[in-house]
Amino acid sequence: MTKYSPNEADANNGSTYTAEFLRVKGLAERGVANAQHSLGFMYFNGQGVAQSYELAVVWYRQAAQAGLEHAQYNLGVMYQKGQGVEQNFEEAAAWYRLAAEQGYAAAQYNLGWLYAKGQGVPNDTLQAMHWFSKAAEQGDAGAQNNLGMMYDTGKGVPQDFKQAIFWYRKAAEQGYARAQFNLGLRYDNGQGVPQDVGQAMSWYRKAADQGYAPAQFNLALRFDKGDGIAQDSQKAILWYRRAAEQDHASSQFNLGLIYDNGQGVPRDEQKALDWYRKAAEQGHAAAQNNLGLRYDHGQGVEQDYEQAQFWYRKAAEQGFPGAQYHLGLLYDAGHGVVVDHQEAIFWYRKAADQGHLRAQFDLGLRYETGRGVPQDYRKAMGWYRRAAEQDYVAAQYSLGLLHDNDEGPQPDCAQANHWYRKAAEQGHTQAQFALGLRYDNGMGVPQDYAQAHHWYLQAASQGHTRAQFNLGLMFLAGQGVRADAAQAWMWLTMAERGGYQTAARYLPNAASRMDPVQLAQARERVEMLPG
């Protein structure tokens, strides 16, 4: 739509506008096409007369029918937007075409958009390309940007990043914010140009300074992560806020995270909640999930399972795996919904199929125990394996246990040891003990007391009482380690205090091998230990 541009008459009073309106109206009524167009413009903007889209259409039409391309274009816009007439894309396309064929760049651009969207004309990328090219060659920045996007995505033309860059730059150098952003992206990703963070930031900044929210978000993201530039939380917050205030959902979500974690600002649960809600109400799935978590756990709000279920479902139906898993938990527990284990499994599976580790593990546990599904060890192993191969430690241990079970579907000492080790190396106490036990007894591995001692020590140091007991016996017998009665007494005492009463039977033996001074020192060391 042609937009009113301030001119010298703006400084004059209303009588000047009225006089001009009367002059133009007289010419228009005598059939002067330019005056008809100007009169339509006056009605559209309420310049010298009460604003009326309907009368604007009347006069634009008369000028358009006389062949005036500006009027044809403006009439097309009125039909496209439904201003003063019922919205009609076919009519819009017809008027745009008349102006476009006269070389009017803005009409060529708009006609290209209609072909690109299939509005009022068949969806036709070749025709869209044709009209965008016509307008772009006349210097229309929007058309240049769209032409760049078509080369960028290979839509209607062979993908060509260099041509995309060429057209983006043409538009960007005219100050077209979206092209500046797109050019920044290309420098960011090194597509069509050498990767250059400095250039990316420069183009993002140009677009951001014009208020283009996606550029503000990308600028904020760079400062937030310190990716290729110095990390600066304050600048990140500044640009996130500018975009967030334009309802940019990802910026609102990230501001929520910043206030949630107290990153560069005092931690503020209420502000975090407010930004999550703004993003969630725009359909941002991660924000919906986080809002669900707040209601689920009563964090910053009164606990409300129905609200938790509402927001989890919003995100889950968009395919957000964390929300799918949490929705499953609500169905399992009957929080905010009627208990329904089948529905819980449905959502666990949705999340698990997307790689959600806890959902994969929980599905494995379901099939292992037969809770809500027929017991099926092979399916249990399948789900455990998917999580275990992503280093989910609980799944690695559970997979080791299933392979360790002689009555299981696939007893395999080597596989049991493999998965125990994977979990043990991540600090899983039970896996460390299991691995120690296997080396101690030569189960699927050559007997190796030194390795047994190593893994018992790892588990014992984390409070595993059986490992403490076995470690005490090794120090007592000198297996895999030099015999040391004081160490034996210390570990046996810790096992007993932890509830493993068998250890008490061996304490007198250890004590008898120490003199009173050594025993006192051992007792002092135990008393100093935590717990």
Query: 128: domain CATH number?
Result: 1.25.40.10
Residue 165 located in a structural domain = no
Residue 191 located in a structural domain = no
Determine contact, residues 163/132, Cβ cutoff 8 Å. no
Percent composition of the chain: helix, strand, coil (DSSP 3-state, to 5): 70, 0, 30
What is the predicted pLDDT for the residue at 244? 98
What is the predicted pLDDT for the residue at 313? 98
Give the separation between CA 210 and CA 95, rounded to whole angstroms: 32
Instruction: Name the DSSP class of 284.
Output: -
What is the predicted pLDDT for the residue at 521? 87
Give the separation between CA 282 and CA 311, rounded to whole angstroms: 12
Burial of 363 (0-12, 13-18, 19+ CB in 10 A): buried
Q: Reduce the secondary structure of 201-252 to three states and give it as a string.
A: HHHHHHHHHCCCHHHHHHHHHHHHHCCCCCCCHHHHHHHHHHHHCCCCHHHH
% of the chain with per-residue pLDDT over 70: 96
Give the separation between CA 97 and CA 88, rounded to whole angstroms: 14
Residue 127 located in a structural domain = yes
Residue 90 located in a structural domain = yes
Residue 134 located in a structural domain = yes
What is the predicted pLDDT for the residue at 181? 98
Rounded to the nearest 10°, the torsion over CA 420, 391, 385, 422 is -20
Tokens read off for 39: 């009169």
**Could you give the angle at the alpha carbon of 304 between the alpha carbons of 301 and 307, nearest 5°?**
100
What is the predicted pLDDT for the residue at 8? 31
Domain that holds residue 19: 1-138
Query: Alpha-carbon torsion 194, 200, 206, 208, what sign?
Result: positive
pLDDT 10s digits, 449-459? 999 999 999 99
Residue 70 located in a structural domain = yes
What residues in the chain have per-residue pLDDT under 70?
1-15, 406-408, 530-531
Residue 51 located in a structural domain = yes
| Of 194, 218, 190, the residue nearest 204 (C-alpha) | 218
What is the predicted pLDDT for the residue at 527? 82
Quote the number of domains for the chain.
1
Instruction: Name the DSSP class of 463.
Output: T
Per DSSP, the chain holds a count of helices (H) and strands (E) of 29, 0
CA 461 from chain centre, in angstroms, equals 39
What is the predicted pLDDT for the residue at 530? 67
What is the predicted pLDDT for the residue at 15? 67
Residue 284 located in a structural domain = no
